[in-house]
Structure 1
Amino acid sequence: SRWKTRVSSGWKSTPGLFGVLAALEYASVNLVVAVLIWAMVYPMMIAVDLGSLKAVGQRPKGLVITLAINWLIKPFTMAALAVLFFNHVFAGLIDPERAPEYIAGLILLGAAPCTAMVLVWSQLTKGDPNYTLVQVSVNDLIMVVAFAPIVAFLLGVTDISVPWETLILSVVLYIVIPLIAGLMTRQALIAKGGEAAVTAFTARIKPASVVGLLITVVLLFGFQGPVILAQPLLIALIAVPIIIQSYGIFALGYGWAYLWAVPHRVAAPCALIGTSNFFELAVAVAIGLFGLNSGAALATVVGVLVEVPVMLSLVAIANRTRERFPE
């Protein structure tokens, strides 16, 4: 009880700061979070190599699996699981008025395939770095045109109103502008010192991405703190469909690659890309569409918490089954 008292008293001393930060917004976009998201996304976009797209036709199977799962399967299975659990299975355990927001947050997670962290998962499974980069590049380009329509469609199917202006603004802010900036930066670096200059530059700015992520998580916990402390069961309930989705999508992609005899250096990353989420984008859009204190923002934060341990377990599975795939 003493610990709870100290937490409560400490929490009451900080709401003023979080309130000020929450008020810094324009057109439903929180400016502080926007800067932090840019700090996370910009280094990822520098890694996008349009030149690598020329090699897509040489080994298409891994890319076909990635794109089919990311854009034709994953968003819809996540939406189905969200509706199943929050409109039916968990209906008696949650506030029914907040259920649509939790569903919306999970839809945003499911419709945002991973970008930068895929390179980490690929490295941990000894994946083909060049092929992984091709997959990331194609995904990012598709995301520019496909993310908003898919999200709008799924929100409409679940009877959640779609603020199109905010959704499109979020796509422009968090995908289009960082992608253009990343491509321009990459071109300038290559002109100056080739791929070595790109690698050196991204290594220097990568800490900014990590710091941006940490501060964003702290802020989101600050905005959502009372809910998280008061309702740990709710956090666990939100995590259930995310975990089921993660393991199910991995099994589908990994099994598909196995049946197609895709080499493990391509099979593991292509399965992990479909499993992981671009949670930076999901968090930003959830805040823009529904607000900092919304159930949608909370659901995306839970996605951040769940992703790392789940992905590490999947990396372990991929590494233990390496010998079952062709070299």
Structure 2
Amino acid sequence: MNLRKGLSLHGLLLNIAGALLVLAGIGLVAMTARGLLNYRAAASRHGGEMIDLDANAQPQAGQHGYMARIVGTPNVVEAPHDPEFNLQVNTPVLVRHVEMFQWREIRIGDSVHYELDWVDRPLDSSHFEDPRGHANPVSFPISGKQFDAGLVQLGGFKLGPVMLHALPGSEQIAPDPKSLPENLAASFTLYQDYLVTSAHPGDPRLGDLRVSWDEVPLQQLTIVGRISGDRIVAAAEAADGKGYYVQLGDVPLLDMFPDLPVPPEFVLIRQILAVLLAALGALLLLVAQRDQRDVLLALGLGAMVVGAVASMLWLGGDTRMLCGWLTVTLLGLGIAIWRLRRGSIRPKQS
């Protein structure tokens, strides 16, 4: 009598432990899937799922379409060139500024007065309240322009035009008057990092020109953009209306996108562990119900149960993940049928 009670209690404990382990496997795979789905839903607002790449990363198969975070200093492979002034600078973007010494109309309350100043666009003096004696030249003989580098790379990836123009910072550079073409060398002289046409640079006159250049400095950046072949470009269809981010320094992904939940780590290990937990639970249930220790049958049942739950969670989500879990489910089902047909379950012997 006591022996039967002991065996009955042992079977009950095995059933409870087995059921808990199966539920633990299902719960683990469900938590992992839910964490990934929540992360991907939030990431899709910024262009899609994101991967971290180091500064020496090279384009790899399977990366196309992903958003990537890369930290490093851009490398200018083909520097921009200002052909009119024969100026070439090792920078991603070179900007030429042209100013003319012109009359400006200044209004303070009801009073109007005029002063000469450097202005980067033609001022139409015909609209002045008192144009007499304050006539400005009609146009600039030379205009301001922006010159982009032919090729800028971060790691093994080329930066697309949008990313190039998003690079932060601006520093004025001093031009070299010795490199000027002959026609401009006769007109311009160097004065305080500017090229000026003034006969007396410290005392400019109406119509004098002042030309300067700004460069985007090379510095450590964190760039997030979409991988398109060997290029990093903006994700034009991103719900946030931007699809890329550029910040100075090494900025963590969650600092750039505070709305992103923390994605689950060790996803593959967690998924394998979920199947093994369910399989161990199934094995305990087999021992309790039929006194059978068929490990393969238990593994098939565990894979089938966990795979079926995961497949339902990934319906309408990641097609690759869905197909993977359907494959696991079918493999588990196949193993279970095979073992059952081999007569692996036998009635308990009394």
Is the helix fraction higher in 1 or 2? 1
TMscore range, shorter length: under 0.3
TM-score (norm 1): 0.24
Is the strand fraction higher in 1 or 2? 2
